[in-house]
Amino acid sequence: ETGVTQTPRHLVMGMTNKKSLKCEQHLGHNAMYWYKQSAKKPLELMFVYNFKEQTENNSVPSRFSPECPNSSHLFLHLHTLQPEDSALYLCASSQGGSNEQFFGPGTRLTVL
Amino acid sequence: GENVEQHPSTLSVQEGDSAVIKCTYSDSASNYFPWYKQELGKRPQLIIDIRSNVGEKKDQRIAVTLNKTAKHFSLHITETQPEDSAVYFCAASLSNQFYFGTGTSLTVIP
Q: Are B30 and B37 in contact (CB under 8 A)?
A: no
CB A98 within 8 A of CB A56: no
Per-residue pLDDT at A52 exceeds 80: no
Of B43, B89, B94, the CB nearest to A105: B43
- Across chain B, mean pLDDT equals 96
CA of A75 vs chain B CAs: smallest distance (Å): 18
Cis peptide upstream of residue A8 (ω within 30 degrees of 0): yes
Is the confidence at residue B95, as pLDDT, over 60?
yes
Task: Give the 3-state secondary structure of residue B84.
Answer: helix
**Residue B77 and residue B89 in contact, taking contact as beta carbons nearer than 8 Å:** no
Q: Does A53 touch chain B (CB under 8 A)?
A: no
Q: How confident is the model at residue B96 (pLDDT cuts 50, 70, 90)?
A: confident
pLDDT digit string, tens, across residues B50-92:
999 989 999 999 999 999 999 999 999 999 999 999 999 999 9
How many residues make up chain A in this entry?
A: 112
Give pLDDT tens digits for A78-101.
999 999 999 999 999 999 888 899
Nearest by CB to B89, which of A43, A50, A56?
A: A43
**Is the per-residue pLDDT at A1 higher than 80?**
no
Alpha helices per DSSP H over chain B:
none
| Cα–Cα distances in angstroms (integers) from residue A85 to residues A36, A98, B15, B76, B84, in the given order | 9, 27, 38, 34, 31
Q: How far is CA A18 from CA A13, A63, A66, A81, in A?
A: 8, 10, 13, 9
**Which 3-state string (H, E, C) describes A81-109?**
CCHHHCEEEEEEEECCCCCCCEECCCEEE
**Of all residues in chain B, what percent carry a pLDDT higher than 90?**
93
Mean pLDDT over A28-51 rounds to 91
Q: How far is A83 from chain B (nearest CA, A)?
A: 21
User: How high is the pLDDT of residue A6?
Assistant: 98
CA quadruple A14, A75, A62, B26: dihedral sign: negative
